[in-house]
Amino acid sequence: MISGRTLAQEAGCECKMSPDFFKSIGEAEIGVRGTPHFNGLVVDVAATNSPVLNIRELISGMRGGEIEVRGSAGAYLGEHLCGGSIRILGDAGDFPGAANQGGTIFIGGRAYLPGAEMSKGTITVKGEAKVLPSFQRMEIVQVDGLAFQKYAGDNVDNGKGELLVGVGSS
């Protein structure tokens, strides 16, 4: 089994994480896609002992690569994300994409206060989301045949990020 610390380093993370992270989810539920260099991570939350995966420590400060979580993720998902992409098929906890600095996050379910202090990057929430008042409401956009309300922000931090929330869901 690949160690948590090695995987975090390969993912471009500056964080340190506990090797126990992988003991809780098991080798079979994680697959590294691509070349021997980190190109992606797939985590199947349904196979874990927890209904929500808290991977804040693993991906805080991620600079590249792709991560997919097949289920829901805990608070602060993609905090300080500098590059790469994260795809959550379920809900995200509080403050996903906090202080996002250029990465891309897709959340297939709900989110609470996504993109707080985001300076750039894109967060898409397919389900309902509580949006901070420091985001500026823009136009309705179409993405893959679905309508999303576009917001610019966070205006607390230069307002250059993009937040898309499914229409009729927030």
Q: Which domain holds residue 120?
A: 4-166
What is the number of structural domains in the chain?
A: 1
The pair of three-digit structure tokens given for residue 161, joined into one six-digit string = 């990020």
CB 24, CB 48: distance < 8 Å: yes
Model pLDDT, residue 62:
73
* Terminal Cα distance for the chain, rounded: 41
Per-residue pLDDT of the chain (170 residues; tens, 9 = 90+): 233 334 444 444 433 333 343 333 333 233 333 322 334 555 555 544 454 555 555 566 677 778 888 888 888 888 888 888 889 999 998 999 999 999 999 999 999 999 999 999 999 999 999 999 999 999 999 999 999 999 999 999 887 999 999 997 54
